[in-house]
Structure 1
Amino acid sequence: MLQELTIKNFAIISSLHLGFTDGMTALTGETGAGKSIIIDAVSLLAGARSSMEYIRQGSEKCLVEGLFDQPEQPEFKFLLEELGIEVDEAGLIVQRDLNLSGKSVSRVNGRIVTLANLRRIGQYLVDIQGQNDHQELMHPESHLRLLDSFGDAKFQTVKATYKTAYQTYQTLANQVKKFKQNEQTFVQRIDMLKFQQEEIGSAELVLGEEDRLIEERDKLTNYQKIVDSFSYSYQAMTNEETNALDAIGSASQELQTIASLDKDFENISDNVHSAYYLLQDAVSEIGRQLDLLELDEERLDQVNERLELIHQLKRKYGDSIEKILQYYDQISQELLDSDFSGDKLEKLEKELAEKEAALQLLAEKLQAARMTMAKKLETAIQHELKDLYMENARFEVRFKPIRFSAEGIDEVEFYITTNPGEPLKPLVKVASGGEISRVMLALKTIFSKTQDLTSIVFDEVDTGVSGRVAQAIADKIYQIGKNSQALCITHLPQVAAKADHQLFIRKEVIDGRTITKVEELSETERTKEIARMLAGTEITELTVQHAKELLQLAKK
């Protein structure tokens, strides 16, 4: 059940907070007052697509928030667990935020959810039936889904078992089909993978190898520069005429004679002394490097060839040795897993035949359950149509066998005749708009008894009817409200009078801006509003008496 609804900066609604109760609630008011806007807001909470046009003129964003009783179905609890939404005993808080950038954010109990997941949640919370929603009945492809909605938990288990088996069967069937279609492509790919595996494997790449080769190449390429630099440095520090090392040694000895006279002198002496020994080590290392250096042009060619090989492999298989080796592991595993052979195809086809036989049994079980269910639905629909003054109507669910599909081996279409002696014909071809509306209302009445929907919203579904049919529709919506909360936008006084509660929606102009206001009507106010619905602007004493009579009859 929808407990509370908060709307801010939505269309002509500046700020609105509504509380709802169980039973049937009628929403009335003049055309254009904002009744359907409230339903649009509820639709957003059920996962309807948003539009920037919903944002009130002059506002940056709008907000719609609803507090619902948490549905008790186990499937709903599993859904919340799957989506990581925490359960709150106070209820389920659903929120939609829209801003001018076109961005829409959906939250359930504070957790952000995608629009697709919000729709999954919304189907357990509210079912909105608008003036044109009976068009669902005008599409035969929807009839199977409507029939299945009549099924109990046992039926849904049978259907779920079939669907799981069908998905497994379909996956295997696609695998066999792909196996047959892509045999040549598969062989070509295996050949390509083997070539790539051989090319990478024969290179015997080592992590870090490229950096080491580049360093070695740079040394070999700059051989002469290195020799010249070391030779000059060695000569500068060891030459007999300008022996820098001996000069620094002499300076160090001289500084030691005054080091004890001052702390700063001592630091200078120590630094020169350390520098002297560091230079001695450097001269020794330079000499050693000069002895080791030799120009190996053959090795330089080998290094360049190796680097070129690595470059070619990087261009083909990855931008680093690490990625090349990862790709090598990947294709090696694919080659290990590959088993394209006639024997494998034979095994797959045998397995597919076994799956198909098992699926056929499940499909027949599902079909039998549907046929039993269809008979019950036919009886229930005819009973409801009788209450809606279609007592001569006969309703039938007809089956047409088809090849396996995700829904079974059935196509379903509703047939009807509303006149005695006339043959049954497809509902979509013979029923009038008013008859279609009543059939849909009959379905909703039945489903409200078998499904645990939180709320069912009727948006002017009584348009175009009057008299005793209007009263019958009012009775049906009231009956639905006994099983599920029913919210009904109506212009019919018979429907409004039947409601347990009545909300009046009106427009006001404040500071040059139109805003929508909603108030729950007292018994006296309901009499006045129903009188307005009966008579329009000129309300007479007779009209008021008629309104009171409607309310009294509704109470009885």
Structure 2
Amino acid sequence: MIEHLHIRNVALIKEADIDFFQGLNILSGETGAGKSMIIDSINFLIGQKADKDFISNGEEEALVEGLFVLENDDVSEYIKDMGIDVEDNYLLISRTIKTNSRGSIKVNGRSATVSMLKDISQFLLDIHGQHQHQSLLNSSKHIELLDKFCGKELEENKESLNLSIKNYRQINQKIKEITKDSSSLGKRLDFIKFQIEEIELANLKENEEEELLAKRRILVNSERLTENIGNSIELLYGNEGGSAVDNISSAISLINSVSQDDENLERLLPQLESILSLLDDSVRDIRKYYENIETDPEALKNIEERLELIYSLKRKYGNSVESILDYYSKIKEEYDFLINSEELLQKFNLEKKELYKKIIKTCRQMTEIRKKEALILQKEIEDVLRELGMKAAKFEIEVSQKQEFGTAGNDNVEFLISPNPGEPLKSLSKIASGGEMSRVMLALKTVLSKADNIDTFIFDEIDSGVSGRTAQKVAEKLAIISRKKQILCVSHLPQIASMADNHYLIVKSSKEDKTETSVKLLDYSSSVDEIARLLGGAEITEAAVANAKDLKNGAIEFKNHI
């Protein structure tokens, strides 16, 4: 639900902070006071486009912020999947519009797009106004409304259908690949076969290129290696008595000859002997390396040719030996698939046939569920319409089939109505009366509210065209829905205003050649005064106040018995 709304520099609203609560929140005020600005601000907040006139005159930027409490864990997870952190199930949406530059959108501090806002807001708010009945007027949306009422059984069938359709499309694609032009298939097979044979003939091994480069480096530098390593051996173990080994051996003999004169010298001998032993080992290893230095020009030529083959394959199939081998695995799999195409085609056609049967069966089950639930839903809506003053109205949900199937099945769903006796059933879009449309929409919301996951409904003057006893019934229905949902409702009817759990007054005032709109939460006494104004106009009489109290107290008693 929406917990707080902050508005700054929107039309006549300089700055407003509004705390909304659970239950029925009514916004009222004189015509032109700015009630629509509140709804416009919320619409802007959840992704609706706004022009520069949205910004207060003389200002460069307008800001709207909304704090929402997410009461559904699935919604929280959905928003987290979008990369937005959600702490304690609170969501702060902030949006600005500027005169000379682009505005900004932030959701819990993270930059977002209008598209993201619309995705998120579909789970937060459902806004309906006197001229905002697109979901009812657009018959393509009727199936979504009916499906909400159908519940879990239909959802399970939808999930099964979606999986079957996904598999069906994948099988279809494979069949297309097999059955495409035979000459193209043959060319593809020949081309893949050539590539496979070329890579197989090369007999590549992982890390081969690195090993060849290392060997080539040795062969290219073999002359310099031979000279330097030979000189190193001569210095370490020469034959003229001046080598490092001979010198250390002589030093050990000399120290040993005088060690009896000073016992401290005996401690030095083991260190020198250890060095001599280590040096002997090193000389043997270096001599072995020296003896194995290759100077074979033919070996170098073979390495160069092998490297050139690898470079040629890399240019065709990948930037490394590993990439070439990966490519080989893929084309080998494709070749095996295509070479066995006739057998596979039979297998895929059989699978396609079975999947089609399953899809049609699931679609029929979904049709049965929809037809069964449609009878229940249309009766409940007719019952509510009667309570709302449309006593002779007939409401029907037509479920018909189309040839093609999709993820929602193969049903067409349309809501039909006959508002008055003797009139034929017709599409909702043919309803001329705004009052009738408002009541149909309210009846739908009353019945569907228990199946709707959205926490907040916003009604903008949906009471247009109703009065008297009908207005009282509309007020009672709003109160009933508000026991389970948060409702924000802009209204000019005293019957609806009296039913408010929280009553807000929108006031326009002028000061120093400036006109501003403000929002005030009313207490019981102030709410009675506002209801009296709605009853009697500009002049509030004692009779109007008494009548207002009766309405308010009657509303309180009604709500206590819901």
Using the size of structure 2 for normalisation, the TM-score is 0.73
Aligned to 1:65: 67
Q: What's the CA shift for 1:305?
A: 0.8
CA offset digits 1:364-383 (Å, max 9, x no partner) = 23223322333333333333
Q: What's the CA shift for 1:402?
A: 0.8
User: In the alignment, is the contact (CA less than 8 A) between 2:91 and 2:107 conserved in 1?
Assistant: no
Aligned to 1:522: 523
Aligned to 2:409: 408
- Call closer, same or farther: CA 1:84–1:311 in 2, change over 3 Å: closer
Q: What's the CA shift for 1:228?
A: 5.4
Moved more, 266-275 or 155-164: 266-275
Aligned to 2:549: 548
- Call closer, same or farther: CA 1:42–1:171 in 2, change over 3 Å: same
Equivalent residue letter for 1:220: L
- Call closer, same or farther: CA 1:181–1:441 in 2, change over 3 Å: farther
Unpaired runs of 5+ residues, structure 2, are 97-101
Q: Does 1:393 align with 2:393?
A: yes
CA offset digits 1:452-505 (Å, max 9, x no partner) = 654433233234655555444323322323454433232333311123432345
Moved more, 303-312 or 400-409: 400-409
Aligned to 1:490: 491
Aligned to 1:435: 436
Aligned to 1:377: 377
d(CA) in 2 for partners of 1:350, 1:188: 27
Moved more, 117-126 or 152-161: 117-126
Unpaired runs of 5+ residues, structure 1, are none
Q: What's the CA shift for 1:443?
A: 0.9
d(CA) in 1 for partners of 2:406, 2:291: 83
Within 5 Å, which residues of 2 pair with 1:408-427? 408-427=409-428
Q: What's the CA shift for 1:214?
A: 1.7
Aligned to 1:93: 90
Equivalent residue letter for 1:502: H
d(CA) in 2 for partners of 1:391, 1:214: 92
- Call closer, same or farther: CA 1:11–1:464 in 2, change over 3 Å: farther
CA offset digits 1:89-141 (Å, max 9, x no partner) = xx84344466898453359xxx9999999988876665333444312122111
Aligned to 1:480: 481
Aligned to 2:99: none
CA offset digits 1:505-543 (Å, max 9, x no partner) = 558999x99998755422211111223444565544454
Within 5 Å, which residues of 2 pair with 1:246-395? 295-335=295-335, 340-395=340-395
Moved more, 297-306 or 413-422: 413-422
Equivalent residue letter for 2:148: S
Moved more, 35-44 or 246-255: 246-255
User: In the alignment, is the contact (CA less than 8 A) between 2:68 and 2:92 conserved in 1?
Assistant: yes
Q: Percent identity?
A: 33
Moved more, 94-103 or 140-149: 94-103
- Call closer, same or farther: CA 1:234–1:509 in 2, change over 3 Å: farther
CA offset digits 1:176-205 (Å, max 9, x no partner) = 445434766665555444433332232222
The count of corresponding residues between Structure 1 and Structure 2 is 542
CA offset digits 1:434-462 (Å, max 9, x no partner) = 33222211211221255565443323323
User: In the alignment, is the contact (CA less than 8 A) between 1:140 and 1:413 conserved in 2?
Assistant: yes
d(CA) in 2 for partners of 1:321, 1:455: 60
- Call closer, same or farther: CA 1:274–1:549 in 2, change over 3 Å: closer
- Call closer, same or farther: CA 1:140–1:52 in 2, change over 3 Å: closer
- Call closer, same or farther: CA 1:117–1:161 in 2, change over 3 Å: farther
Within 5 Å, which residues of 2 pair with 1:12-411? 16=17, 18=19, 20-22=21-23, 24-29=24-29, 37=38, 64-70=66-72, 92-96=89-93, 102=104, 104-106=106-108, 126-181=125-180, 188-226=187-225, 229=228, 295-335=295-335, 340-403=340-403, 404-411=405-412
User: In the alignment, is the contact (CA less than 8 A) between 1:52 and 1:98 conserved in 2?
Assistant: no
Q: What's the CA shift for 1:306?
A: 1.0
Aligned to 1:461: 462
Equivalent residue letter for 1:528: D
d(CA) in 1 for partners of 2:425, 2:64: 50
Moved more, 274-283 or 495-504: 274-283
Equivalent residue letter for 1:105: V
d(CA) in 2 for partners of 1:84, 1:63: 20
Equivalent residue letter for 1:346: Q
Secondary structure of the 1:326 match is helix
User: In the alignment, is the contact (CA less than 8 A) between 2:381 and 2:395 conserved in 1?
Assistant: yes
d(CA) in 2 for partners of 1:187, 1:420: 71
- Call closer, same or farther: CA 1:43–1:340 in 2, change over 3 Å: farther
Secondary structure of the 2:133 match is helix
- Call closer, same or farther: CA 1:332–1:401 in 2, change over 3 Å: same
d(CA) in 2 for partners of 1:52, 1:206: 65
Equivalent residue letter for 1:375: L
Secondary structure of the 1:422 match is coil
- Call closer, same or farther: CA 1:522–1:141 in 2, change over 3 Å: same
Using the size of structure 1 for normalisation, the TM-score is 0.74
Equivalent residue letter for 1:144: I
Equivalent residue letter for 1:487: L
- Call closer, same or farther: CA 1:391–1:120 in 2, change over 3 Å: same
Equivalent residue letter for 1:368: E
Equivalent residue letter for 1:402: K
Secondary structure of the 1:144 match is helix
d(CA) in 1 for partners of 2:66, 2:471: 32
d(CA) in 1 for partners of 2:490, 2:406: 39
Equivalent residue letter for 1:321: V
CA offset digits 1:40-64 (Å, max 9, x no partner) = 55996xx757999999989999764
d(CA) in 2 for partners of 1:246, 1:449: 97
Moved more, 371-380 or 528-537: 528-537
Moved more, 354-363 or 59-68: 59-68
Q: What's the CA shift for 1:303?
A: 1.0
- Call closer, same or farther: CA 1:418–1:355 in 2, change over 3 Å: same
d(CA) in 1 for partners of 2:417, 2:327: 64
Secondary structure of the 1:299 match is helix
CA offset digits 1:193-227 (Å, max 9, x no partner) = 44333322322223332223223223333344445
Q: What's the CA shift for 1:347?
A: 2.5
Equivalent residue letter for 2:364: E
- Call closer, same or farther: CA 1:191–1:36 in 2, change over 3 Å: farther
d(CA) in 2 for partners of 1:106, 1:118: 12
- Call closer, same or farther: CA 1:55–1:251 in 2, change over 3 Å: farther
d(CA) in 2 for partners of 1:519, 1:78: 35
CA offset digits 1:326-382 (Å, max 9, x no partner) = 333444455556664223222222232233233333322322332233333333333
